[in-house]
Structure 1
Amino acid sequence: MDGVEVSYNPYDPSINDDPYPVYARLRREAPLHHNPELGFWALSRHADVAAALVDSARYSSDHGPMIDAAAWTPRARAYLSFVAMDPPDHTRMRAVVSRAFTPRRVAALEPLIREIARAHIEEGLAKGTFDFAADLAAKLPLDVISELMGVPSSRRHKVRRTESVLVRNDLATTLTEPGLRGLLTLGDYYASVVAQRRAEPRDDLVSALVSDGDLTDEEIVAFLFLLIGAGSETTTHLLCAAWYWAWRNPGQREIAFDGGVPQWVEESLRHDTPAHVTARRLTEPTELHGVLVPRDARMWLLIGSANRDEEVFPDPDVYDLGRDTSRAISFGAGRHYCLGAALARLEGRITLEELTKAVARDYHIHEEGIRRTAHGNVRGMVSLPTTVRPA
């Protein structure tokens, strides 16, 4: 590769399988990388990404976090809520949601999360070999959020399948007609839930949002799209990363199973960051690394690369539960710091605790059956075949 100019396409399957060697070259040789064919500029160093995340005036979120042709739009807020907003709209919307999505409400979910985790783990143990991603990691956060929202179990599989359209579309495609119909149907369902809670409030998140009185029905529906879609994806990929990388590193697996679950969560978030990349729109011409980047440029902030920056994390490619992860930016930074970070960490910790109690530490992953996400924003596994036995 020496002498060959570094190129980066987040939708190249070979890069998607293991982007970290390319990230290392970007940090070293092209910390500001321009891909004219796809129309974006990428920042890969920790200092640059961290600075951009907190500068919402210069790096606008108003076109959403995805650079896909179908998703990069000023209308992204319709299904991504305050993630695709700037102040003052973002400030107002986030403040209202924060009043309903309180630390107390999140902490109160612990018994429920533990019950759900145990049930899915028991099913996996009964099978012996199961898909850790599909049968546990994907189901658990959706069950938790559905309980939080009051979505009945009979609707959950359909909700997740339809929401996946939002988080797994491809640059070369737009929403298909059936996919669009599915999203419209899901939007109608969310609207019906909001209407029901206005008529008959319950002790759930939707009722809390409705009772606040500061959000329209359309704003609540957009938040529900965000919550079930992006909210469940983060935990799914965190759990898969933790399970996979502990298996690949037996010494670290021993630490994890011997009480190191909190470190297991944090190092997995850093080492193979689920919310891998986010987009911003540059609001004014800005000089970066000696290049004047034009106004309205699509900026692609490589959070996954920043979390492997050797200037911040010594031996960044080593999976080490003993390292200091305090400077990791796995959930973003600034105004758009992930509102669901506490819930994702809680779900991850509890599920991994229950796994270490129930499953023998010599579990086996069938690497030939692993399938990864194809989407550029999130990184994770959609299939992770695992053989387990009781502890």
Structure 2
Amino acid sequence: MSAAPECEGLVLYNPFDYALQENPYPIYARLRDEAPLYRNDELDFWALSRHADVNAAFRDPALFSSAHGVTLEMWDAAAADLVGFLAMDPPRHTRMRALVSRGFTPARVAGLEPAVRAVTREHLMPALEAGTFDFAGVVSAIPVYVVSELLGVPRADRAEMLRLSEILITRHDGDAGIPQSFWDAGLALTARYRELIAERRARPRDDLISALVLAEIDGDRLGDEEIVAVLSLIGVAGNESVTKLAANAWYQAWLHPGQRAIAWAGAVTAWVEETLRYDGSAQMVARRLTRDTVLHGTEVPAGARVVLLGASANRDPRVFPHADRYDLTRDTGQALAFGSGPHFCLGAALARLQLRVMLEELVAAVDGYDIDEKGIELVHSPNLRGFRALPTEVTLR
């Protein structure tokens, strides 16, 4: 894979650069060692790359605010109107998260396992029986259908939901712009969500949309637009992160046959957790500094955009010995793949469930496999890391 650009020995970090997206980890290592507080004047942001700094920032929303959004390309004071409680600070975030959690309970997620397994088999088995298939393409449908089960989206709508969610995360150029197709897809998706919310207000069912409609704390309820924002977050960000993680796990196990043997011997949960740490789909989030603050000896002004490189933190050797080694036997307890603090990912349990079930089904069915490196295509995104195409040939048990 290509290396990110350098200039006269200085480390350069541009999250929109295609070369960096191909393999960001060498640059992350240099940032941690040479520029733990990095400044990009052209794009007007700072970056923190060490585990201690990223973790501390995640846990301090009063200093590192989410209210302008969590990505550089969608930075706006009204970001919450687009992405909901992801772009809120306490106490507004606390209220929203408490209400949403009423519908997103551990029991509801755990109860999805039979449906997750059924959906996984439905989409995986034809591909496995064919023997040769694009792994990334096949697994992309699974989280969409799983989340559709959770939300109560009719089966007839699910293919269109998949198409729209793919548009919402695709970038066809390397700059920080948002294409018109993104806004068109977002409008279409939210219109369908509003229809479903109206249906559930009239006739509640046993699904997440109904649970969100009915959620109440001391008379406080979620409004329609708040529910739309939550559904958009779950239905797009959740889908894409799981798809990318599954393919990353498949690829890393292929690259590391010794670790693959450990996974095939029953360590599927460890396979999930080490992939989350070593090559997670989420690369970074953005925050807004609320007051002048000295970081690594430099005063960073209030209002500054600060990028928190969670993927770099997960490779920090100060926390993870031999951090660049893919090792299913390691302790991943301090990994930040789902963040930490008040914004810890609400969908983490569902993501882990889907990944575990998908990989368990693969281990049960596949004796061995190979990947055609010439056909590999990576997604080009400043925020998500994963494969657009991962050609695979399997041998079944």
Label 1:341 to 1:178 Cα distance change in 2 as closer, same or farther (>3 A): closer
Deviating runs (4+, > 4 A) in structure 1? Answer: none
Offset of residue 173 of structure 1: 5.3
Aligned pairs for 1:317-328 (under 5 A) are 317-328=324-335
Label 1:241 to 1:258 Cα distance change in 2 as closer, same or farther (>3 A): same
1:182 maps to 2:185: yes
Describe the SS at the equivalent of 2:306: strand
1:377 maps to 2:373: no
| Aligned position for 2:67 | 62
Letter of the 1:52 counterpart: A
Deviations 1:106-141 (A, max 9, x none): 0000111111111222111122111111112x1111
Aligned pairs for 1:191-202 (under 5 A) are 191-202=194-205
Offset of residue 171 of structure 1: 6.3
Do the aligned partners of 1:242 and 1:264 also contact (CA within 8 Å) in 2?
yes
Describe the SS at the equivalent of 1:255: helix
1:280 maps to 2:287: yes
Question: What CA distance in whole angstroms lies between the structure 2 residues aligned with 1:18 and 1:245?
Answer: 14
Deviations 1:179-211 (A, max 9, x none): 423321221111000000011111100001111
Offset of residue 172 of structure 1: 2.6
1:168 maps to 2:175: no
Offset of residue 383 of structure 1: 1.3
1:330 maps to 2:337: yes
Residue 76 of structure 1: which of 61, 79, 90 is its match?
Answer: 79
Query: Please, which runs of 5 or more residues in structure 2 have no aligned partner?
Result: 1-5
Do the aligned partners of 1:60 and 1:282 also contact (CA within 8 Å) in 2?
yes
1:143 maps to 2:148: no
Scaled by the length of structure 2, what TM-score is found? 0.94
Offset of residue 4 of structure 1: 0.8
1:269 maps to 2:272: no
Residue 46 of structure 1: which of 30, 43, 51 is its match?
Answer: 51
Query: Please, which runs of 5 or more residues in structure 1 have no aligned partner?
Result: none
Question: What CA distance in whole angstroms lies between the structure 2 residues aligned with 1:23 and 1:174?
Answer: 24
Question: What CA distance in whole angstroms lies between the structure 2 residues aligned with 1:239 and 1:27?
Answer: 27
Q: Identity percentage over the alignment?
A: 52
1:204 maps to 2:204: no
Offset of residue 247 of structure 1: 0.3
Letter of the 2:115 counterpart: L
Describe the SS at the equivalent of 1:363: strand
Question: What CA distance in whole angstroms lies between the structure 1 residues aligned with 2:148 and 2:342?
Answer: 26
| Aligned position for 1:115 | 118
Do the aligned partners of 1:130 and 1:385 also contact (CA within 8 Å) in 2?
yes
| Aligned position for 1:296 | 303
Residue 217 of structure 1: which of 205, 220, 224 is its match?
Answer: 224
When structure 1 is superposed on structure 2, of 111-120 and 216-225 the one drifting more is 111-120
Letter of the 2:47 counterpart: A
| Aligned position for 1:254 | 261
Describe the SS at the equivalent of 1:388: strand
Letter of the 1:318 counterpart: R
Letter of the 2:141 counterpart: K
Question: What CA distance in whole angstroms lies between the structure 1 residues aligned with 2:168 and 2:185?
Answer: 11
Do the aligned partners of 2:376 and 2:389 also contact (CA within 8 Å) in 1?
yes
1:88 maps to 2:100: no
Offset of residue 266 of structure 1: 0.5
Deviations 1:289-322 (A, max 9, x none): 1111111111100000000001111111110001
Label 1:14 to 1:171 Cα distance change in 2 as closer, same or farther (>3 A): closer
| Aligned position for 2:3 | none
Do the aligned partners of 1:79 and 1:226 also contact (CA within 8 Å) in 2?
no
Describe the SS at the equivalent of 1:364: strand
Letter of the 2:251 counterpart: Y
When structure 1 is superposed on structure 2, of 122-131 and 31-40 the one drifting more is 122-131
Question: What CA distance in whole angstroms lies between the structure 2 residues aligned with 1:340 and 1:73?
Answer: 24
Deviations 1:31-72 (A, max 9, x none): 01101111110100011101100000000001111011xx11
| Aligned position for 1:21 | 26
Do the aligned partners of 2:262 and 2:328 also contact (CA within 8 Å) in 1?
yes
Question: What CA distance in whole angstroms lies between the structure 2 residues aligned with 1:126 and 1:317?
Answer: 35
